[in-house]
């Protein structure tokens, strides 16, 4: 039996290490970093500096994040940055004399993209640069004919310090979910091993316990069916719950397990004959408190609810309440049992 425990724990540990390597492994990144002195004469940049072009090759479709940081000194010139696809369609265009920003995740198709840096040395040049773009929602529109707090210099040397990075964004919610499942399974194996007096993976249940566990499973299944039917009816009636379908499925599973565990605990069929209640409660309590701390932290940071939807980060609090409830039922049953024995 100890060999089985070791095999299962080893497989889960390898899966956990693999996930961690995948999360922290290098990902596709395109980066440009340079410094250059832009020479402006008679209100125009030097001919060989009027456009600085770089080709970005996206290897596969996916979500990408851009980070741009630059500074021009002294003031008196702006830099326009435009990213276009192979067909010339604009993907992202902006201008500034200094900037330090990171875009949100953007869907990009595989292919070549051209990034062009254009020195903007006059109001007219700035207006011409954005010809064809809808600027009606800007704080200061192009049609106003001037840039607030910007005085263009007709001549001078402007030091341009540029740092640009584009990198593929991993599907972190999915990875976190898978990582959580693997860690949860590993903890479950450890929970079973340390709660058993013989350090095995299987529990020794008598015939009465097996019968009650079967009934508990039936009640748990009916609870899940009722919950899923209720969600379906609400959705069809136009009542949309603040959660995704996957989130609702997790709640359904927790409800089924909760009903099963509560029934079995109260019928003395949850813990096997070779399991100690004290160890089981202690481990459950530790896991519950850990999830409770992470869940509260998610709500404090404001990431548990976004766009009026419960996010994956709020699941820690739900899991904590579920685990602590089961732990409470175990403690209550143990107290009742101890009182009866007295």
Lowest mean pLDDT among 62-66, 77-81, 162-166: 62-66
pLDDT at 141: 47
Per-residue pLDDT tens for 238-297? 887 888 777 888 889 999 999 999 999 988 888 777 667 777 788 778 888 888 888 888
pLDDT at 207: 86
pLDDT at 308: 78
> What backbone phi and psi angles, to 5 degrees, belong to 104?
-80, 180
pLDDT at 94: 83
Q: Say what the pTM is.
A: 0.53
Return d(Cα 5, Cα 201) in angstroms, integer. 6
Angle at 172 between CA 228 and CA 115, to 5 degrees: 130
8 A C-beta contact, residue 17 and residue 177: no
pLDDT at 259: 94
8 A C-beta contact, residue 66 and residue 92: yes
Tokens representing 163? 């740092």
Which pairing describes strands 305-306 and 309-310: parallel, antiparallel, or unpaired?
A: antiparallel
Can you list the domains of the chain with their CATH numbers? 28-168 (2.60.120.380), 172-341 (no CATH)
pLDDT at 146: 47
Q: How many CB atoms lie within 10 A of CB 112?
A: 11
Residue holding tokens 């991993």? 170
Residue holding tokens 């990075």? 165
Return d(Cα 106, Cα 112) in angstroms, integer. 15
Secondary structure of residue 108 in the 3-state scheme: strand
Give the pLDDT band (50/70/90) at residue 63. Answer: confident
Per-residue pLDDT tens for 140-169? 444 444 454 567 888 889 999 999 988 887
Q: Does residue 319 have a pLDDT over 60?
A: yes
Tokens representing 184? 């949860």
């Amino acid at each position: 039996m100890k060999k089985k425990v070791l095999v299962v724990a080893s497989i889960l540990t390898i899966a956990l290490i693999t996930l961690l390597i995948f999360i922290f492994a290098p990902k596709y990144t395109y980066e440009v970093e340079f410094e250059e002195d832009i020479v402006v004469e008679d209100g125009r940049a030097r001919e060989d500096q009027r456009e600085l072009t770089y080709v970005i090759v996206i290897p596969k479709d996916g979500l990408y994040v851009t980070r741009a940081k630059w500074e021009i000194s002294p003031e008196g010139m702006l830099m326009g940055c435009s990213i276009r696809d192979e067909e010339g369609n604009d993907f992202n265009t902006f201008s500034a004399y200094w900037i330090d920003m990171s875009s949100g995740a953007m869907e990009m198709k595989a292919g070549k993209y051209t990034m062009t840096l254009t020195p903007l040395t006059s109001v007219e040049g700035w207006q011409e640069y954005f010809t064809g773009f809808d600027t009606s929602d800007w704080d200061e529109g192009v049609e106003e004919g001037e840039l607030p707090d910007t005085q263009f210099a007709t001549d001078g040397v402007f030091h341009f310090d540029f740092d640009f990075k584009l990198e593929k964004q991993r599907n972190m919610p999915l990875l976190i979910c898978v990582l959580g499942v693997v860690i949860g399974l590993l903890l479950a194996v450890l929970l079973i091993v340390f709660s058993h007096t013989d350090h095995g993976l299987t529990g020794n249940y008598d015939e009465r316990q097996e019968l009650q566990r079967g009934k508990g499973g039936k009640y748990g299944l009916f609870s899940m069916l009722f919950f899923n039917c209720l969600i379906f009816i609400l959705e069809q009636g136009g009542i949309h719950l603040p959660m995704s379908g996957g989130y609702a499925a997790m709640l359904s599973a927790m409800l089924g397990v909760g009903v099963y565990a509560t029934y079995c605990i109260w019928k003395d069929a949850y813990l096997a004959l070779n399991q100690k209640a004290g160890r089981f409660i202690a481990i459950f309590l530790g896991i519950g408190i850990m999830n409770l701390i992470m869940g509260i932290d998610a709500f404090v940071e404001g990431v548990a609810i976004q766009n009026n939807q419960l996010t994956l980060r709020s699941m820690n609090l739900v899991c904590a309440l579920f685990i602590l409830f089961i732990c409470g039922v175990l403690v209550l049953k143990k107290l009742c049992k101890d009182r009866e024995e007295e």
